[in-house]
Structure 1
Amino acid sequence: MASFCLTAAYRTIDRVLHLIAWIGAFTMIGLMLIVVYDVLTRYFGFGKVPGVNSTMMQESQYWAHTVIFSLVIGFGYVRQVHVRIDLVTSSLARRTRLLLELTGCLLFLMPFSLVGAFYCFGYARQSYVNGEISASTIGLSNLWILKSMLVVMFILLFLAGLSQVLKCVEGLRGTLPATQVDKLVGGGH
């Protein structure tokens, strides 16, 4: 019964991270449109939408990059697209790799994510309270929205760590299929 609960929990977390990553992926379309619009209006003389200037377009690009990165990082972690030193860990036993992953998530990733979310929340809150705007007089306002994406990023990273911890526990109990263990801790490439 406990195994079913762990499996259901990490699968739910992974589905949520996948859904949020899709939202981030669709932000790529927005980023491409912003870049195309900016290039067409700046270099090819196309007319601009009233009230929208090049500075806003350039700032919108780094806003979109921030949103994309923040929304896909959790899914990227559970899909193992981060850097992993397989050269060192590939010679270790599967159980040792599971313990190493579990320890890394519990001692480093999850606490770091909580600390990051805590401090970034204060950072975004202060931006909201101060009504922070772009350093450029013709740039974007409401920078607190951009800074809030850092909080979202750390929360998603924490959830990814939690998913990995649950999978490691399943792996250590022997209830996670070997192919999934390889995906979890590397070595299945």
Structure 2
Amino acid sequence: MFLLNLERVISRYSILLGKLSALLFILLLLNVFYDVLMRYVFNDVSIGMQELEWHLYAAIFLLGIPYGLATGGHVRVDLFYERLSIKGKAWIDLFGCILFLIPFAVLVAYYGVGFATEAFKLGETSGDPGGLPYRWIIKAVIPFAFFSIAISGIGMLLRCINAIRGLSKAGFDHEPIQH
């Protein structure tokens, strides 16, 4: 029962990041609308607003990955996977998490901390006039997102263990994942 509860807590965290990603998407839409309006109606361009577009896009993408993992929306090669039993699918996902997902996410997160810290210490800003200051903020999203991907990977690992133990079919047999 402990593993099921821990899986649900991690899943809620990943779902929260998905909601944050959706909110950032709305902000991106407003930003693009503003940018287009200013450019074509008022003939005015803001480098800062254009840079904010790719900052928001990067954050949306990076924070949406844990949500995709938690809800089973990530990409798989389904050549054999779809024909397997629930336990077979769980074993494949379990090994994928242990061998690929979690080590890669932890590695990128670990090195991303130094990347963001260096940008903070240097006071890195945009190289373009009128660009955004505080480049470290978007760079800090990288390790945060990858640590969150690792946490979501642990949730996926727990979901696999629970499925192998016969405690849950969520995410493997077209049964919705509990949030």
Q: Please report the TM-score for the alignment, with normalisation by the length of structure 1.
A: 0.86
Counterparts in 2 of 1:45-84, with a 5 A limit?
45=42, 54-84=46-76
**RMSD, aligned CA:** 1.7
CA distance in 1, matches of 2:38, 2:15: 35
- Could you tell me which amino acid in structure 2 is paired with residue 182 of structure 1? D
CA distance in 2, matches of 1:108, 1:183: 24
Instruction: After TM superposition, give the deviation of residue 183 of structure 1 in Å.
Output: 4.6
CA distance in 2, matches of 1:76, 1:92: 21
Determine if contact 1:80/1:183 at 8 Å carries over to the other structure. no
| Same amino acid, percent of matched pairs | 33
CA distance in 2, matches of 1:183, 1:104: 20
Instruction: After TM superposition, give the deviation of residue 62 of structure 1 in Å.
Output: 0.4
Match of 1:95 in 2: 87
Counterparts in 2 of 1:133-172, with a 5 A limit?
133-172=125-164
Determine if contact 1:70/1:152 at 8 Å carries over to the other structure. no
CA distance in 2, matches of 1:94, 1:18: 23
- Could you tell me which amino acid in structure 1 is paired with residue 8 of structure 2? R
Instruction: After TM superposition, give the deviation of residue 40 of structure 1 in Å.
Output: 0.9
User: Is residue 30 of structure 2 the alignment partner of residue 38 of structure 1?
Assistant: no
CA distance in 1, matches of 2:83, 2:35: 50
CA distance in 1, matches of 2:136, 2:32: 23
Match of 2:109 in 1: 117
Structure 2 stretches lacking a partner, 5+ long: none
Q: Please report the TM-score for the alignment, with normalisation by the length of structure 2.
A: 0.91
Instruction: After TM superposition, give the deviation of residue 20 of structure 1 in Å.
Output: 1.9
For this pair of structures, how many residues does the alignment match? 175
Point out the more displaced range, 103-112 or 88-97: 88-97
Instruction: After TM superposition, give the deviation of residue 67 of structure 1 in Å.
Output: 1.5
Any idea what SS the aligned residue of 1:133 has?
A: coil
**1:134-178 Cα deviation digits (max 9, x unpaired):** 11122111110000111111011111110111011111111113x
- Could you tell me which amino acid in structure 2 is paired with residue 73 of structure 1? I
Determine if contact 1:56/1:139 at 8 Å carries over to the other structure. yes
CA distance in 2, matches of 1:90, 1:21: 26
Any idea what SS the aligned residue of 1:175 has?
A: coil
Structure 1 stretches of 4+ with a deviation exceeding 4 A read: none
Instruction: After TM superposition, give the deviation of residue 17 of structure 1 in Å.
Output: 1.1
- Could you tell me which amino acid in structure 2 is paired with residue 127 of structure 1? A
Residue from 137, 162, 181 that aligns with 2:172: 181
Instruction: After TM superposition, give the deviation of residue 57 of structure 1 in Å.
Output: 0.9
**Structure with the greater alpha carbon radius of gyration:** 1
Match of 1:107 in 2: 99
Structure 1 stretches lacking a partner, 5+ long: 185-189
